[in-house]
Structure 1
Amino acid sequence: MRLIDFHCHPDLYNNNFKILNNGNKIVFMTNLPVLFERYYPKYKDSTNTFLALGYHPELIEEYPNYFDIFKRNLYKTRFVGEIGLDNSESNKKSFEKQLKIFREIMDECNKNDGKIISIHSRKAESVIFEELINNNNNIYILHWYTGALKRLLDGMMISKNIYISVNLDMTTTKKGNDLIQSVPIDRIVLETDAPFTKESKKRYDYKILEDTIAQIARIKKSTLEDVTIQIQANSKKILE
C-alpha cells in the first residue's frame, strides 16, 4: 500500500483533476447526495478512487430536504463524507437543521456497521463528540480538526475508532503543530482537502502527501520512514 488521501474534492477542480498513476488512493468527498448519484456510475468499481456519500453542513440551509436521497444511497458505499456540523458565525442560523440531519445520518450509519466517516466539526466539536462516543460502530475521521485538543484526546481515549486527517496547511500553524504533536501517531491519516489548501489550489500530485508526512515526522521528531510505515498501517487498518 502506498499513501491514501482520505479527504479531497476532485469535482471542485472543474474536471481538471489529475491523479498520478503511482498506486496512491483517494477518498472522493461529495457535498450533496445528488452528487454522489452523479459520480457513482463512474467510480463504483474503482480500486483507487473511493466515492463517499456526503451532505455538507454548510449546504443544509440551501438544500434542506436531501436526507431521503442520502438514505437511499447509503448501502452503496463504505465511505461517508463530507458530513458534520458547522457552528461558525455564518452557519449558526442553520445549526438546528444541521444537528437534526447529522443525527439522522449517524442513526442510519449505525444500522450499517463498518462505515468510514469523514467529519466536519467547525466550532461544534462538543456536540460531535457526544454523538461519536455514543455510536462506536464505525470509523470516524475528523477532517481538519481545529477544536479543543483536550476534548479530542479524551474522545480518543474512550473510542479507538476516532482518527484525525492531517493536511499540509495544518503543519504550518501553531494550532496544527500542537495537534499533530499531541495526537498519537496511530490515530493520524492523511488528507489534502484539495482544492482548499495552499498547495492543492495549484496542483494535485502525490508529492503533497509525501510533503505532509515529512512535516508530521518533523513535528513528531521522528524519522520519515517510521512515520510513513505507521500512517500506512493506520490506513490499512481503517480499510480492513
Structure 2
Amino acid sequence: MIDLHCHLDLFPRPEMVVREVEAAKIYLLSVTTTPKAFPKTAQLPGRVSRIRTALGLHPQLAHERHEEVGLFCRLISETRYVGEVGLDGGDEFARHLVLQKDVFNRLLRACSDAGGRFLSIHSRHASGEVLEALAAHPGCGTPILHWFSGPMRDAERAVAMGAWFSVGLPMLRSKRAGTLLSKIPRERILTETDAPFASTQGEEYPVQALTSAVAELARHWKCAPLDAEQQILANMGRLIGAGHSMIANSSLSARQANAGN
C-alpha cells in the first residue's frame, strides 16, 4: 500500500508508527512542516527502506518560518522529496498570502536549481495561484497535489500540466469525489492518509484508512479492490522509478497470495 502524505513526526509516538508501517509493508512519504524538523524526522525510519522523508515548509507556517528558506535551500540536496509546501488562502491565512507566494516561489526555484524534486503540495483555497507558481517554475520537478479541493477547471489544468494527485479516505467519501475523479486519469492518482490530522483515531497508524481508500477508488472506478490496488502500486512504480516498482510488485504479489488463501 501507498501513503504519499503522512506527518510521521507529529504522531505522539512516531517510533511505534514506524514499526506499524514496516509490519504492514507500506511505502510512506513522511512530510515535514519546517526545514528545522527535517534532520531529526529523517532519522526516524532508521533502516526501514519503505519510508522516505520530505523537506517541507508548510504554507500555514510561512509567515512565522520564512527565515528558514535558506535552511531549506541548504538541505534540499539530502532528499529527492519536498513537502509539505504550497499555498493556503483560507480565511485565517489569506492575509499572509503575499508572503506565502514569495516563500513558495523561492522553494520552487530551489527545487529547479537542484534538478527537480517530487513535491507534495498544499493548495487549499489557492489552487489557481499554486498552478501559476508551478507554471513559472517548469523545472521544479513533479507536482503531486495533496488533498486537492479546488475547482474542476483547476483540476483539469493541473492534469494538463502533468500534475499528480494524492487522495485520502475523507476526500474520497466527499460529495464531489466522483466528479473530481472523472477529471483525473487514474494513472495519476496515489493514496494518502494525512495522518495524524486525518484518517486516524488515537496514536496508531491508520492502516485501515488506506485499505478503505483503495476500496473507495475501486467503487468509483467500478473495478475490484485488488485491481485498484494494482493500479496504485503501478502508478507509484512509474512515478518514482524501477527500484520502487520492484517494491510495489513484491507487495502486490504478497496480497494476491493472501487473497488466494
Q: 1:103 to 1:38 in 2, by over 3 A?
A: same
In 1, the alpha carbon distance for the partners of 2:44 and 2:212 equals 30
In 2, the alpha carbon distance for the partners of 1:179 and 1:201 equals 27
User: What displacement does 1:45 show?
Assistant: 5.7
> Which residues of structure 1 form unaligned runs of 5+?
none
The answer on whether the counterparts of 1:213 and 1:227 sit within 8 Å (CA) in structure 2 is yes
Q: What does 1:49-128 align with in structure 2 at a 5 Å threshold?
A: 49-128=51-130
In 1, the alpha carbon distance for the partners of 2:76 and 2:112 equals 11
User: What displacement does 1:69 show?
Assistant: 0.9
Residue aligning to 1:155: 158
Amino acid at match of 1:83: V
Residue aligning to 1:200: 200
In 2, the alpha carbon distance for the partners of 1:208 and 1:233 equals 20
Of Structure 1 and Structure 2, which has the larger fraction of its residues in helix? 2
User: What displacement does 1:42 show?
Assistant: 4.1
Over the matched positions of the two proteins, sequence identity in percent amounts to: 30
Pick from 29, 37, 40 the counterpart of residue 27 of structure 1.
Answer: 29
In 1, the alpha carbon distance for the partners of 2:152 and 2:179 equals 8
Residue aligning to 2:211: 210
Residue 187 (structure 2) pairs with residue 186 (structure 1): yes
TM-score by length of 1: 0.91
Cα-to-partner distance string for 1:16-52 (whole Å, 9 max, x where unaligned): 5522413211100100000002223444764111010
User: What displacement does 1:233 show?
Assistant: 0.9
User: What displacement does 1:106 show?
Assistant: 0.4
Residue aligning to 1:11: 9
User: What displacement does 1:105 show?
Assistant: 0.5
Report the aligned-residue RMSD: 1.7
The answer on whether the counterparts of 2:84 and 2:120 sit within 8 Å (CA) in structure 1 is yes
Residue aligning to 2:255: none
In 2, the alpha carbon distance for the partners of 1:54 and 1:163 equals 18
Q: 1:121 to 1:228 in 2, by over 3 A?
A: same
Q: 1:44 to 1:105 in 2, by over 3 A?
A: farther
In 1, the alpha carbon distance for the partners of 2:57 and 2:110 equals 13
Residue 221 (structure 2) pairs with residue 230 (structure 1): no
Amino acid at match of 1:56: H
Query: Could you say what secondary structure the match of 1:72 adopts?
Result: helix
The answer on whether the counterparts of 2:124 and 2:148 sit within 8 Å (CA) in structure 1 is yes
Amino acid at match of 2:64: E
Q: 1:71 to 1:132 in 2, by over 3 A?
A: same
Residue aligning to 2:251: none
